[in-house]
Chains A and B, each alone.
Chain A
C-alpha cells in the first residue's frame, strides 16, 4: 500500500474526494487555480456533469475505498446549468446525509456545498475547511472495506 501523503510527515493526512459539477464548482476550482490561491493537497477532484448526476453510491464507494471525507459541490440552487439538476441533488444528498448518520457513521465526513464558477476564493476556503474538519475527526475506520485494503 502506498502512502504517499503519509510519507511526508508523521502527521495524519486525510484523503478527501471532491465531486464537482462541471459548470460551477469545477470551474470555481479552475478559478482558484488561475488566481493562484492555495488549499491543502488532500483534496482530489472528480468532475461530474452536475450534482444531480451524483449517485450516493459514488460517495459510499469512496468511503469504502478509504476516503476520509467526501465533498459534493454544485451550482447554487437556482443557477443549475441544467435548470433543475442541483435541486434533485440537494434533496437526494441531504436525505443521504441523514441516512449515513442514522447508520452510525459520522455525517460530518460528507458535505454538500454550492460554489459558483466565480467563487474561486470560496472553493479554496471550502477545501481548507473540509480538510481541517476531517483532520479533527481523524481517519475513517468505520466504513473502510477490509477486503479492498487486502487486495492492494
Chain B
C-alpha cells in the first residue's frame, strides 16, 4: 500500500464552519494506506503548500490527498506543489469538501460524516493513482477570430501587433458589426464611425490580419493548439481582386430588398455594400433579390462594371485551415418587441426600437440624418422612450438588465434635442442605471440641461389617435396616471444573444447560459476563457455590454490567445485511454465512438503455440486522446482503460463511499 498523506484545509471558516476538522483528521489516519494526516488554515497559501511539500519529504509520501475546495479551483496549485516536492503531480487527489460539502450543508453533524466519506473515497482512489506524463503538443501559430465587430477587430489587431497571424471570419459582407450602426457613442458623443472606421481600415491593412468576410465557420475539430476549422466563404458573385469599389453596379441595379444594416427601415439594391464605409469595399449580390438569379434576365451590373468584376457563377468556397486558438466575438441581437402587444410595435411606423431610432440620426441612414417621423416626414416634437422592454421582466422577457439602454436612451434624448431643438423627451424607467466612468454625469446633463423628463413607472398602453401616439403610463413617484400625446415612441428592447448562438456554440464546442450567452470559465477570475482550452470569448456574445467593456474584454482575450501562441509546445491531456493489447480482440468498436479519431487499428505479432500470429488490435494516440472514456465502456472485453479515471479507481471510490452501509 503506497504511503499516503492527507491534508485538510479549514479555508478560514468556509470548511471548518461545517466540518469538524479534528474529527476528519482523526478519521483520515485510519484509512488504508494513510501514514500522515494534518490540517491547515489555508492550504492554498504559500505556507500551506510548504507544509505539504515538507510532509512529502519528511514522511516519504507516495500519494497525497487534499481535502479542500473543488479540484476545478485548486487542483493545479496542489499538483504543482507535489511536483516541487519530487512527486509526480498525478499522484495527488482532491476531495471536494467545500463546494460539495461545507457550503451546501448547514449542520456540522451532517457536514462532518460527509466530508469524511469524500476523503475516504479520495484516498481509495489515490492509492491506485499512477505517475502520468502529459504529451507535448505542437502549437499552430495562427489565431481565428469569429465575428468582425468591434470586439473581433480589437482582438485581431492586438494579436497581429504581437506578431501572430490572425484570420477574422465575418458573416456579413463587411466588418464593423453593431458599432457601425451607431451614430454617436455615450458618454462622450464621439461619432461612432469616426472612431470605428480607422480601426476597420487598420485591420484590413495589417499584414498579419486576413479578413474573411461574408463567411461562416462550419466545422471545428481538434483541440487547443491544433483546431482544424472549415470556413464556408459564401459566393459574393463579385471578384474582390478586380473590383475597385467604384459603386456603379449598385447605382444602376434595378432590384431592391430590405436593408439589414438599416434594420429594415429602408431599401438597398440587390447588389450592395451594407454601408458606405464598408471594409472590404466590395459589393455582394443578394441572389434572392437579384433579377438575374430570379428570372435569368438583367445583367445590368455585369454590363456596367468597369473592371468586369461580376462573376455570376461564383460558388461557395471552403477554407480549411489549422489554428492554435479561437476567439468567439459574435455580438448580440436586439429583441423584437412585437410580443409586447400593448406597445404596438410593428403596427405603427413611429414606434421604433432603440437601434432603429439610432439609424435616423445617421447621415447615411434611411432619412439622410433628419430625425423625422417615418409616417409623415415631420420632425417629432414629443418623443416617449420606454425602458426595459423585455429586460428585467421575469414573466415575459429576460430576467437580466441589458446594461446599455439607460445610457443610449439618455444619449438619444440629447441628440434629439440637438437635431430638433423644440422637441421634448419623456423617459419611462424602472431604475436609471448609470454605472460607468462619466455615465452618471452624462445622464444628469440629459435630465437637467436637455430638459428630458424622467418618469419612474411603466407604460400600460400605446395606441394611435389621429396624428399622435397616445401613451398611457403611471408615474409611480407621484402616483399619477400619465397620458402623453407623443409623436414618436422609442422602445429600449432587450439585448439578446444571437438566435444562432447555440448552434455556433455546438460547432466550436463551448456552452452557453440559459439565455444563450456564452459561458465564461469563471464569472470573476476567468472572464474571457471558456471551459474549452484554447477558446476565448469577448464582447456582447458573453453578456450585454457597452463598447468600453467590449474593447477591454477583446484585448483581454487577445492577451490570452497570444500567451498560448507564444508557446511552441503545450502540455496535452495526461489522463488518456490505453489499450491492453494482449486482451484486445480488435473489434474496433472503440474507434467508432472516439470523437477525436484517436484510436486506430494496428497489427501486432504474438507468439502462439510455438509460431507467430498476426492480429489487429486497437491503439490510442495519446496526443489526440482527450480522455472522455467513451471507448472504455464500449469495449466488450474491458481491455481499454482510462488513466486517471480507471475502472478500478472509480469502483474504489464507490466502495469507499458506500462503506458506511
Given contacts A2-B660, A53-B645, contact A24 B100 (CB under 8 A): no
A88 pairs with B99, CB closer than 8 A = no
Pick the residue among B71, B106, B506 that contacts A38 (CB under 8 A): B106
Pick the residue among A39, A66, A124 that contacts B661 (CB under 8 A): A66
- The 8 A CB mask of A25-53 against B (1 = contact, 0 = none) is 01101101110111101001111111011
Question: Does residue A83 face the partner (Cβ distance < 8 Å to B)?
Answer: yes
Pick the residue among B109, B575, B628, B632 that contacts A55 (CB under 8 A): B632
Question: Does residue A135 face the partner (Cβ distance < 8 Å to B)?
Answer: no
B511 pairs with A116, CB closer than 8 A = yes
Q: Which residues of B contact A24 (CB under 8 A)?
A: 511
Q: Among the interface residues B98, B596, B628, which one has the most CB atoms of the partner chain A within 10 A?
A: B628
Given contacts A55-B632, A118-B513, contact A41 B519 (CB under 8 A): no
Separation of A121 and B118 alpha carbons in the complex (Å) = 22
- The 8 A CB mask of A11-34 against B (1 = contact, 0 = none) is 000010100001110110110111
Pick the residue among A3, A15, A46, A116 that contacts B650 (CB under 8 A): A46
Stretch from B203-211, B232-240, B442-450, B651-659 that touches the partner: B651-659
B629 pairs with A53, CB closer than 8 A = yes
Interface residues of B, count at CB 8 A: 58
A49 pairs with B99, CB closer than 8 A = no
Separation of A55 and B654 alpha carbons in the complex (Å) = 13
Question: Does residue B595 face the partner (Cβ distance < 8 Å to A)?
Answer: yes
Q: Which residues of A contact B630 (CB under 8 A)?
A: 50, 52-53, 82, 84-85, 88
| Top 10 A-B pairs, shortest CB-CB distance | A66-B661, A33-B99, A53-B629, A65-B658, A82-B628, A4-B113, A33-B103, A41-B110, A52-B630, A30-B99
Q: Which residues of B contact A47 (CB under 8 A)?
A: 71, 96
Majority DSSP secondary structure for residues of A touching B: loop
Separation of A124 and B658 alpha carbons in the complex (Å) = 21
B100 pairs with A45, CB closer than 8 A = yes
Knowing that A33-B100, A49-B629 are A-B contacts, what are 5 other residue pairs whose CB atoms are under 8 Å apart, sorted by A's residue number?
A46-B654, A78-B506, A84-B630, A85-B629, A116-B511
Given contacts A30-B70, A79-B506, contact A58 B650 (CB under 8 A): yes
B595 pairs with A85, CB closer than 8 A = yes
Question: Does residue B36 face the partner (Cβ distance < 8 Å to A)?
Answer: no
Rounded to whole Å, the gap between the CB of B96 and the closest CB of chain A is 7
Question: Does residue B303 face the partner (Cβ distance < 8 Å to A)?
Answer: no
A117 pairs with B511, CB closer than 8 A = yes
Q: Which residues of B contact A67 (CB under 8 A)?
A: 654, 657-658, 661
17 A-B contact pairs sorted by A residue (CB < 8 Å):
A1-B661, A2-B659, A3-B660, A4-B113, A4-B660, A30-B72, A33-B99, A34-B99, A45-B118, A46-B650, A49-B629, A50-B629, A55-B650, A57-B647, A57-B651, A62-B658, A65-B659
Rounded to whole Å, the gap between the CB of A110 and the closest CB of chain B is 14
Question: Does residue B478 face the partner (Cβ distance < 8 Å to A)?
Answer: no
Separation of A82 and B509 alpha carbons in the complex (Å) = 8
Separation of A36 and B575 alpha carbons in the complex (Å) = 31
Question: Does residue A147 face the partner (Cβ distance < 8 Å to B)?
Answer: no
Q: Residues of B with Cβ closer than 8 Å to A?
A: 70-73, 96, 98-101, 103-107, 109-111, 113-114, 116-118, 121, 502, 505-506, 509, 511, 513-514, 519, 531-532, 575, 593, 595-596, 626-630, 632-634, 642, 645, 647, 650-651, 653-655, 657-661
Q: Residues of A with Cβ closer than 8 Å to B?
A: 1-5, 8, 15, 17, 22-24, 26-27, 29-30, 32-34, 36-39, 41, 44-50, 52-55, 57-58, 61-62, 65-67, 75, 78-79, 81-85, 88, 92, 116-119, 124, 144, 149, 152
* Nearest B residue to A59, CB-CB: B654
Q: Which residues of B contact A44 (CB under 8 A)?
A: 114, 117-118, 121, 657
Given contacts A41-B110, A44-B114, A53-B628, contact A83 B96 (CB under 8 A): no
A8 pairs with B109, CB closer than 8 A = yes
B654 pairs with A65, CB closer than 8 A = yes
Rounded to whole Å, the gap between the CB of A7 and the closest CB of chain B is 8
Q: Among the interface residues A22, A46, A124, which one has the most CB atoms of the partner chain B within 10 A?
A: A46
Rounded to whole Å, the gap between the CB of B232 and the closest CB of chain A is 20
Q: Which residues of B contact A66 (CB under 8 A)?
A: 658, 661
Q: Which residues of B contact A3 (CB under 8 A)?
A: 660-661
B650 pairs with A48, CB closer than 8 A = yes
Q: Which residues of A contact B519 (CB under 8 A)?
A: 117-118
B575 pairs with A15, CB closer than 8 A = no
Separation of A50 and B642 alpha carbons in the complex (Å) = 12
Rounded to whole Å, the gap between the CB of A71 and the closest CB of chain B is 13
